[in-house]
Amino acid sequence: MRLLDQIPHPKFKVVAYTLERHYYVEIEAGPMKQCYKLHKETTPGLEGIKQWLDEEFSTQLQSSFEAMYQNHTSAIKRSLG
């Protein structure tokens, strides 16, 4: 896995890597991270990754991160708090 680029985003830290057949995209918000693989055959490079990170997908990511954070904090309170 090689670093391709860090993609500027107003809400998340987004880092793209290149693999043999895929792009691997890590998206972070606070202590949460989501990772996705995009096929190189169907994704036109870094610009394709940026297009994939459109406003609708970013809104869905935010909702997922919020649910992940609630699950995370609930587990900490139950188990460690």
Instruction: Supply the pTM of this predicted model.
Output: 0.90
Average pLDDT of the chain?
A: 96
φ, ψ (nearest 5 deg) of residue 33: -140, 135
Of the candidates 20, 18, 27, 21, the residue with the CA atom closest to the CA atom of residue 52: 27
CA distance 68 to 21: 29
Instruction: Report domain extents, the chain.
Output: 2-79
Average the pLDDT over 49-68 and give the result: 97
Half-sphere exposure of 11 (CA within 13 A, CB side): 15
| pLDDT value at 17 more than 80 | yes
CA distance 72 to 49: 28
Average the pLDDT over 63-73 and give the result: 95
Residue 5: CB atoms within 10 A of its CB come to 14
